[in-house]
Structure 1
Amino acid sequence: MSDDYKQYDTVEGFSKVVMMEKIEENSFNLSVSRYVENFEREELDLNVINAKVKYLEQNLSKIQKEINNYLD
């Protein structure tokens, strides 16, 4: 980590050399996440997610009914 600082290099997902103009554009915000993206963006298929949510809701409903039967 200290070597990266001393080398003054951009390391993907870790550090980035930024010009003062860019820092000024960002209101002098030095938050690393402002300049370095440390994760890969994943494409989400909302139809798949929605299907999974429906499946989980159905299972939850069944489990809740079973629990209520034990409690009665």
Structure 2
Amino acid sequence: MTDHHGARVAQALAGKLQAAIDNKDWSVAELSRRSGVARYTIAKALAGEAWPDLLTIANLEQALGADLWPGRGV
């Protein structure tokens, strides 16, 4: 894990996203269909290679019924 705060936030968000997908037993394709977020965008977020914007996070949270933002403790 890195010492850069932004990278830690991206990694924590990716972990929460993966856990929420696993909890629903959905594929990335299913989440994409239900959220309206492109599969590529979801895959990049899961890999920690993208910083999803607030609307993307909100759409993912709504589809998953889960909070994804890691909060201030990261």
- Asked if Structure 1 and Structure 2 have the same fold, meaning a TM-score greater than 0.5 normalized by the shorter chain, the answer is no
TM-score, normalisation: structure 2: 0.30
TM-score, normalisation: structure 1: 0.30
- Greater fraction helix: 2
Tell me which structure has the larger Cα radius of gyration: 1
Higher relative contact order (CA 8 A, sep 6+): 2
